[in-house]
């Protein structure tokens, strides 16, 4: 203890340990009634403790990222063996559970996007995955796997969904553009037949109900070419080709051109599940000197509906090339769009 001196400066204390790290210490001066005293030295810093990498990897978020890494390594491989397929399905199961476990505790938008990519790969390759697992007899190892059950469901529904996919993708994206831009028909007077409802019933495979509605709409609008064409297609599917030909003849007379009629009828025949009849219209168009692009575009749709993706790719490419040569830019865009759709949906190569 000493008397306060205004000129006095606190001396630098010696180097001491604070916890397990050395730090320079300064005296803490306390003034009481003009008397200065020193308190115990305090640490200038505290050591920051952070979780180790090993500890972070054991958190739900760490396990989620590890499962995503494992699944992505298999998903992007050129070939998939049975062991890879089983590992991929198990990783997908773990990803779904860990996303729920993390919940709102962290921002997992990047991880969610990666999981969405993997779910899409499972959907696109479900048939191939099911085939390679079953051929190897590994399906018994996956009896409790939700992802395996999902793959089985998708593979079982694939054939039945092919025509619906064609209707939804082809008719919804490309055929509608073609009908509006390239194949105008005589504009019906108001009110118009309920063509949209007929198409919805057909897409839902309610063929009998679609035929009944087509007949009713044709009775209401007997001079409407669309009503005649739709009824003709459905009558042909129902097994009455004579009535169908009469209706086709009416629609053909009222169409903007013979090319427009054949192309529109071919697309409706595909939607109705009559690809053989649609292929005949495609062949007629291809044989014409002025309709090769339309013919190959229709042929590509026929092949896609049959599941012949390689044949569809070749036909769509031919349609795009012919449309460019014939200065038909709208038709070229449609053909390239259809080609891009089918290329994007191609599955991974798998080990047979």
- If asked whether residues 29 and 90 sit together in one domain, one would say no
Average pLDDT on 72-86 reads 74
Residue 44 has pLDDT above 90, yes or no: no
Domain of residue 331, CATH code: 1.25.40
Spatial separation of the C-alpha atoms in residues 231 and 194, rounded to whole Å: 12
What is the domain count for the chain? 3
Q: Which of 90-94, 97-101, 148-152, 273-277 has the lowest mean pLDDT?
A: 97-101
Torsion (CA) 265, 266, 270, 273 in degrees, nearest 10 = 70
- If asked whether residues 212 and 75 sit together in one domain, one would say no
Query: How many residues would you count in the chain?
Result: 352
Band (325; pLDDT cuts 50, 70, 90): very high
The per-residue pLDDT for range 185-197, each reduced to its tens digit, is 444 446 788 889 9
Of residues 174, 155, 154, the one with CA closest to residue 270? 174
- If asked whether residues 137 and 205 sit together in one domain, one would say no
Name the domain boundary from 115, 144, 173.
Answer: 144
Average pLDDT on 171-179 reads 54
- Is residue 165 in a domain? yes
Spatial separation of the C-alpha atoms in residues 195 and 207, rounded to whole Å: 14
Q: Which of 3-12, 197-206, 265-274 has the lowest mean pLDDT?
A: 3-12
Residues 6+ apart with CB under 8 A from 182: 260, 263, 294, 328, 330, 331
Range of the domain at 226: 160-344
The model's pTM is: 0.47
Residue 228 has pLDDT above 90, yes or no: yes
Average pLDDT on 140-164 reads 79
Q: pLDDT at position 188, please?
A: 45
Average pLDDT on 209-222 reads 93
- If asked whether residues 32 and 82 sit together in one domain, one would say no
Residue 158 has pLDDT above 50, yes or no: yes
Mean pLDDT score of the chain: 77
Q: Which of 89-93, 101-105, 141-145, 256-260 has the lowest mean pLDDT?
A: 101-105
């Amino acid at each position: 203890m000493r008397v306060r001196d205004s000129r006095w400066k606190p001396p630098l204390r010696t180097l001491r340990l604070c916890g397990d790290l050395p730090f320079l210490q300064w005296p803490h001066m306390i003034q009481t009634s003009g008397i200065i005293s020193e308190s115990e030295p305090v640490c200038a810093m505290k050591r920051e403790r952070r979780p180790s990498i090993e500890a972070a990897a054991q958190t739900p978020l760490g396990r989620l990222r590890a499962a995503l890494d494992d699944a992505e390594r298999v998903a992007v491989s050129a070939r998939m063996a049975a062991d890879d397929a089983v590992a991929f399905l198990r990783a997908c199961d773990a990803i779904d559970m860990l996303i729920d476990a993390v919940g709102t505790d962290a921002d997992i938008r990047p991880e969610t996007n990666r999981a969405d990519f993997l779910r899409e790969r499972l959907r696109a390759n479900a048939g191939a995955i099911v085939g390679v697992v079953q051929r190897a007899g590994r399906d018994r190892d996956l009896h409790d796997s939700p992802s395996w059950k999902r793959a089985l469901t998708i593979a079982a529904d694939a054939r039945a969904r092919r025509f619906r996919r064609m209707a939804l993708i082809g008719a919804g994206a490309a055929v509608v553009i073609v009908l509006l831009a390239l194949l105008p028909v005589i504009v019906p007077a108001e009110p118009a037949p309920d063509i949209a409802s007929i198409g919805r019933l057909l897409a839902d495979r309610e063929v009998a109900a679609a035929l009944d509605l087509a007949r009713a709409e044709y009775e209401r609008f007997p001079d409407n070419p669309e009503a005649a064409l739709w009824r003709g297609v459905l009558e042909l599917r129902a097994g009455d080709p004579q009535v169908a030909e009469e209706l086709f003849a009416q629609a053909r007379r009222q169409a903007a051109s013979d090319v427009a009629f054949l192309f529109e009828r071919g697309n409706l025949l595909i939607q109705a599940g009559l690809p053989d009849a649609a292929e005949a219209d495609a062949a007629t168009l291809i044989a014409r000197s002025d309709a090769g692009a339309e013919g190959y575009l229709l042929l590509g749709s026929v092949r896609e509906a049959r599941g012949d993706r390689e044949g569809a790719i070749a036909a769509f490419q031919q349609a795009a090339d012919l449309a460019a040569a014939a200065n038909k830019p709208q038709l070229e865009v449609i053909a390239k769009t259809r080609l891009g759709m089918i290329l994007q949906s191609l599955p991974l190569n798998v080990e047979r």
